[in-house]
Structure 1
Amino acid sequence: MAKQGMLELGESGRVAEEAADGSPLWWTIQALATDSDQLLVKKLARNDTSWADDQGKHQAGLYIPVELRDSGFFPPLEASNPDKPHIFVAGMDVLWPQTGEVTRSNLRHYSNKGPETHLTRLLKDLFRELTPASLFLAGRLTRPTATCSWWAVVLDSAGDEAELLETLLDLPVDFHHGLFRADSFGAARRANQDELEGLIEQFRSAIRNGTLHELVTTYSVIPDPGTIANQARDEWLRANGRDSFDPWQISAPGDAIMKISREIEYRLYRAHELKRRASELLAILVGGADLASTVVRKYPDIDAILLSASQQRKTRAGRSFEHHIAAALTAGNVRFQEQAVTGGRRPDFVLPDLPTLRKKGRDRSDALVLAAKTTLRERWKQVSSEQLNCDVYLATVDDRVAPSAIQEMAGLGIRLVVPELLKSSDEAFYKGQDNVLSFREFFDRSIRSERPALLGPLEH
């Protein structure tokens, strides 16, 4: 690997030096994106990073799908060795702002092995010990700096930068890789431009007419999570030509739950949130002596609005997931009880109900507990502490769970339930794990096959 150290790289090099010295990485990414015309994002699979953790791995790079290889983002491949005409290579100097180093990396394609292509000669340390489903982000500079026409970062999925990138580029739940215009970093992607212009004109009119206070009042209440969840589910049903959220009729119920809660409902919520928070901020800023003094003097109020928005968003996400699981259970005629208090705990779902769970001398398979957490981190340990004499299942849409955590849950008797896409994904670590079921398997095996008594008239 050719490490050229910190070269004289002009503005981009200065940005990289500052990043290496501890400046926030996201600021660096934004600065480099501004100097780029195109961005490449790839969710890292296990084979993309295992070479950095396993010294015995021969491959030393990440896989580049053929559509990215031939997109024009990379330099053209050439077979420059007459003795090996099947080997096509493209060299490229890549700036890594996380360390300030430059590598002479290679895009390498062995045409006798099919379309498979790899980007090699990378910074191994950046690919080590990553959380599953981390992101590789690269940009093509509009004006090469010294020898560099490309830059790249690796964003651990457990970090804030990965979440920011996913939000900013509006990455879908089934995202694997893609190319984006660099100005996506400054574009409003969550709402239709016509809708945004209409909202802006509405605010301008209210300011001119002195009716901003009334508009703030109109937008002050965001519909409750249940209402937005129902709207999102109805939108999914219409788009898929269905009239019921019956999990027995949906081939991949987990994928449906994930798409509705993480994409459709989030989009609907953000539209309501934009109206409310924008009107609140305008009410603070409009009418001040001048914008600078108003922002400085009213900063505590502005900060309180932004903090409230962040907290409400996080609270809504978890409850949203539960709403859609409950809707699937109800539509599937599965007997369950929500938020039943037992032993000082409040499991999300008890199947079939709390009296059955508490019944002395019952068979262990007569009941089960299903907890729901959109993201796990260490919170899954709250589930393991329950001594309920029944099987415990934990539903999640989190693709960042490490193999060690999955095995630890298995040792504690916790079975994970994940969307079908995540169960088969090469980027998550659920494939081949005995204690991980897809939602399809949970409904078919854990309910219909192993506990048919759970199917029947709902008693709640």
Structure 2
Amino acid sequence: MPAGDLVEWLDEHGGPGFVWYVKRLSGNDTLANASHQAGPYIPRDFLFRIFPALARQEVKNPDIRFNLYVDSHADHRDVRAIWYNNRFHGNPKGGRNETRLTGFGGGASALLDPESTGALTVFAFSIVNPPETADCHVWVCRHETEEDLVEDRVGPVEPGKWLLWPPAQSSLFPGVASSLVRTSCWLTDDEIPAAWRLKFPSGAEIIRKAVELRDDSSLDPDRRLMRRRECEFEIFRSVEQAIEMPHITAGFADIDSFIARAQTILQRRKARSGHSLELHAREIFIEERLIEGTHFAYQPVSEGGKTPDFLFPSVAAYRDSTFPSDRLRMLAVKTTCRDRWRQILNEADRIPAKHLLTLQEGVSEAQFAEMAQAGVQLVVPAGLSDKFPKAVQPHLQTLESFIGDVRLLPIV
């Protein structure tokens, strides 16, 4: 289907009769991990609001069937929403207490296809009154262009995160907080610097604040990265709310003014999502006593205007034809890599093996094999490795391990 079909789908299912649950499919959602739990995870409280008959604690593993249409792949299923509630039926400590969707027919469904791991996916649930049962229309993005169209509407959606859309519908689900919002690093009004209210802070400024609130210097680089990134996003959201809410509550003179403001907010979010991870990595390299300009270069020009995110040990070493190529390293940084990994293949001609730091929660074995054949080595924070297929996990490199390797490189 052309991209125009997605635009029409978003318009058709984006009205007041629908609420969207938007996420990137993880390896535990699809069959990439060969998990017995395969099937999209959807928060329990959200499904209880959509399907009130599911919220029956007195019944062991209550379920309900409903129509689900994967419109992106012309697929219709009579699927099952189930609450695994063993915790309340004889297993109070080790029992499950989560909801999932099942009954998709295995890998024939785009939602369970291992190749869909990492795909941005929109679940559009209809809003109905009991005893009527809601149905669900789904779009599994098939490539980067479709993901961009969705994120132009809702803002960036990162691995391990989810959101409800439109925000106005969230009021219908008072017990359900988007996973994009936490409180531990949320800045109160009096904690926000006055200069930030006049000009939105840069990514580097927000990350410096995150480092201040989450020093975490005693933690390994992998855990430090994940904790700080969570903190940084909370800071971003708190500043965004402090700056934008006065404009929103004041109202807009016309539609064009409203659209312009909304576009500013969305573009700022996308810019933050695109550069945040690399700025965190740079900060951690420095904390790990790697000297910028001596042990690594950030966004250097390799050749022909190409700008890899990081070169090791230096630009001077890279441009020195006598310096051994096997002692050079390149690290690309991409929050998601499902389609974007190919973009790094030509970023540093002298370095055949490309390292790629990502937060994506899994890839299929077939896609991993394709990456490996192209010379791409995935660098994945330790806490995310179990999201990948068991056959892939031994071939992943942690950030801590990568830093240990580049420490051993000779310098010019």
Give TM-score scaled by structure 1 length: 0.60
Q: Secondary structure, in 3 states, of the residue corresponding to 2:330?
A: strand
Residue 103 (structure 1) aligned to one of 64, 71, 78 = 78
The superposition leaves residues 166-197 of structure 1 with CA deviations (integer Å, 9 ceiling, x where unpaired) of 979xx996569xxx9952599798487xx999
Matched, 1:358 2:319: yes
Q: Distance in 1 between matches of 2:81 and 2:266?
A: 42
CA gap 1:416/1:42 in 2 versus in 1, 3 angstroms: closer
What code does the residue aligned with 1:365 have? D
Which residue does 1:424 correspond to in 2? 386
Q: Is 1:183 aligned to 2:161, yes or no?
A: no
1:271 corresponds to? 238
- In structure 2, the CA distance between the partners of 1:234 and 1:122, relative to structure 1 (3 Å rule), is same
Cα distance in 2 between the residues matched to 1:442 and 1:119:
37
CA distance in structure 1 between the aligned counterparts of 2:264 and 2:128, rounded to whole angstroms: 39
Residues 353, 302 of structure 1: CA spacing in aligned structure 2 closer, same or farther, 3 A cutoff?
same
Q: 1:410 aligns to what?
A: 372
Which of 132, 145, 149 is equivalent to 2:117? 132
Look up the match of 2:209: 231
2:64 is matched by which residue type in structure 1? M
Mapped to 1, the partners of 2:81 and 2:356 lie a distance apart of 43
Structure 2 CA distance for partners of 1:405 and 1:162, relative to 1, 3 Å = same
Residue 376 of structure 1 aligns to a residue in which SS? Answer: coil
Q: Does 1:74 find its partner at 2:54?
A: yes
Cα 1:139–1:331, aligned 2, differ >3 Å: closer, same or farther? same
Q: Which residue of 2 aligns with 1:322?
A: 278
1:337-359 deviation per Cα after TM superposition (whole angstroms, max 9, x unaligned): 22222212222222111112222
Greater Rg, structure 1 or structure 2?
1
CA RMSD of aligned residues (A): 5.3
8 A Cα contact 2:110 2:140, kept in partner: no
Provide the C-alpha distance between the structure 1 equivalents of 2:53 and 2:22, rounded to a whole number of angstroms: 12
Which of 94, 97, 118 does residue 66 from structure 2 map onto?
A: 94
SS at match of 1:27: coil
Give the match for residue 442 of structure 1: 402
Percent of matched pairs sharing the same residue? 20
| Partners of 2:311 and 2:329 within 8 A in 1 | yes
Q: Which sections of structure 2, spanning at least 5 residues, go unmatched? A: 1-5, 87-93, 163-169
Distance in 1, Cα, partners of 2:159 & 2:25: 14
Letter in 2 for 1:27: G
Matching residue's letter, 1:443: I
Structure with more contact order per residue of length (Cα contacts < 8 Å, sep ≥ 6): 2
Q: Deviations over 1:335-391 (max 9, x none)?
A: 212222221222222211111222233333332122222233544333211311464
Report deviation, 1:151: 4.5
Seen in structure 2, the aligned counterparts of structure 1 residues 128 and 165 have a Cα distance that, compared at 3 Å, is: farther
Residue 62 of structure 1 deviates from its aligned partner by 3.6
Q: Which amino acid aligns with 2:116?
A: T
Q: CA deviation at 1:413?
A: 1.6
Could you tell me whether the CA contact under 8 Å between 1:371 and 1:383 is conserved in 2?
yes
> Are positions 1:336 and 2:296 aligned together?
yes
Letter in 2 for 1:339: Q
Q: Would you say how many aligned residue pairs link Structure 1 and Structure 2?
A: 366
Q: Please, what TM-score do these two structures have when normalized by structure 2?
A: 0.66
* Alignment partners' CA distance in 2, 1:278 and 1:316: 19
